[in-house]
Amino acid sequence: MRYEMTELLQKIQSKKIQVGIIGMGYVGLPLAVEIADSGIRVVGIDVAEAKVKLIREGKSYIPDVASSAVSKHVQSGRLKAVNEFRVIRDLDSIIICVPTPLGKTKDPDLSMVVDAVEQIARNQRPGQLVVLESTTYPGTTEELILPKLEEAGLKVGKDFFLAFSPERVDPGNAIYNTRNTPKVIGGVTPQCLEVASKLYQNFIERIVPVSSSRSAEMVKLLENTFRSVNIGLVNEVALMCDRLGVDVWEVIEAAATKPFGFMPFQPGPGLGGHCIPIDPLYLSWKLKTLNYRARFIELASEINADMPHYVVNKVNDALNDFSKSVKNSRVLVIGVSYKKDIDDLRESPALDVIQLLKNRGAKVMYHDPYVPEIKLDGVSLVSTEIERGLQEADCTVIITNHSNLDYQKLVKGSKVVLDTRNATKGIESTNIIRL
């Protein structure tokens, strides 16, 4: 054990370690650039040939990563990209950053993690560190990955090292990035934790060690369950305020002046992104296998999932005030990414709102400066020019409050505006309906 561990630690200290990242998406590419910035050579592995080609050309496809950063490291030889897995034999550490979506039945889909681990097992050699960053349920690292890597007779903590370190990527965040966001790490053994921590200290400012991979997995789920439950609460408060004839935004703003015991969350048209709508359901699923019902999680998920229906009902009411029905009315949706100022469509509530409106017979247009085209059920929709959209629309619905839009002009050009994000705060007009 000491030989394999000592050799790997020496490689880490001297920065002669070679790191591979499986999955070069919103987590993998920024991480690869940070690793290369630290002077360590990194190989990006992805089955998507288009991504590999762009990296090789020195181009970024992630808004938070500049193409100049990718190009610099490709030219220096510190970053390269491949779409085959034989390179794992030459690597000292492999970090798994593949997606972990939910299946149609809301069960965890770990097929991409399983595929990655099987590729590692086929090309494994003694002395390697494997780290899973993909969000999953507590126990995955030890129950799913460990047995597969030990099949060939290698022993964890002795012949190879295994850890879990949850990604904490927040696309579009101008303050916190991969390097300055504290990194939680849990090893399967104390030796695994030591090796993984030493590696990440090269390119992450602060390491937060925990006692096990299971604890690290739970940390990630707690973080996003906390947000999901509180967003569910404030969404339900929005529904209450609507019935009470109270401005929910005013209530939240006033409550936020309390200097203790309150943290403001904002209501909206539903949850989006890869983490918050999905991660709590991983925990709920795992607890069901232990005969426990995660009631807070399920209730919050139910409320949040119903918000697009509530938005569409509000559109219906707004059109009724003009003696129009949703059917055959033209509706302009403003913003389709899941949060402002990014191009990420994952789990975006805008897609649900658009589909629900189309199901009711509405003629839906959308405008998003970050997303030129979307596909719904195989049908393409192209972002419409905003002046034209406002002129044609019977109702405008603000789903994503991008910073570069002129909301004063938008309100002035609309017949009626349903604002689900309080983007029109401070604008006085009788044609605004707020969530």
Active site residues: 275
Helix axes 248-255, 213-244, angle to 10 degrees: 130
Tell me how far CA of residue 7 lies from CA of 3, 128, 207, in angstroms.
Answer: 6, 10, 22
Burial of 90 (0-12, 13-18, 19+ CB in 10 A): exposed
For residue 27 the two structure tokens come to: 């987590």
CB 185 within 8 A of CB 40: no
Q: Sheet containing 395-398: give its strands across.
A: 363-367, 330-334, 395-398, 417-419, 432-434
